[in-house]
Structures are given as C-alpha cells and as structure tokens.
Amino acid sequence: MLTVLRHDGGWAVEHEGEHFGHSGDKEVAKASAHKMARQMQDGGKPCQVRVSGEHGFFAVR
C-alpha cells in the first residue's frame, strides 16, 4: 500500500517505511503515488493508493 500523507511541512508518499515524492502540493504527491502504483502493478504486484484524511466513497450507477 502507498499512503499519501503530511510529512515535514508538505506532502509525501510512504511505502514500507520509506518516504518519496515530497512536495508542497498534495496533488503532486498523489500523482507520484499513482505513478509508482502503476509501475508496481505492471510488475505483477497488486497495489493500493491511500490518501490520509480522505475517504474514497463513491456511488456506482
């Protein structure tokens, strides 16, 4: 799992205790997380991106 969270006064992505994708903009950190998730999935490893403080609720019609 990749988690986008507040880190050192900005935003970062955490994976297995390591932080990367540091940015002052949450959307930039989210893009970094999604890029890494795509690389992991393309390599055959399932992955989930979670954004700390957001709820992923949606309705399917």
Number of separate domains in the chain: 1
Span 6-16, mean pLDDT?
Answer: 95
Is there a domain that residue 40 lies in?
yes
Domain holding 34, by residue range, is: 2-51
pLDDT at 29 over 70: yes
Looking at 1-61, which runs of residues are DSSP E strands?
2-7, 10-15, 18-23, 49-51
Q: How high is the pLDDT of residue 54?
A: 73
Is there a domain that residue 34 lies in?
yes
Is there a domain that residue 56 lies in?
no
Is there a domain that residue 35 lies in?
yes
Span 43-51, mean pLDDT?
Answer: 94
Q: Which residues contact 23 (CB under 8 A, 6 or more apart)?
A: 10, 11, 12, 29, 32
Is there a domain that residue 27 lies in?
yes
Is there a domain that residue 60 lies in?
no
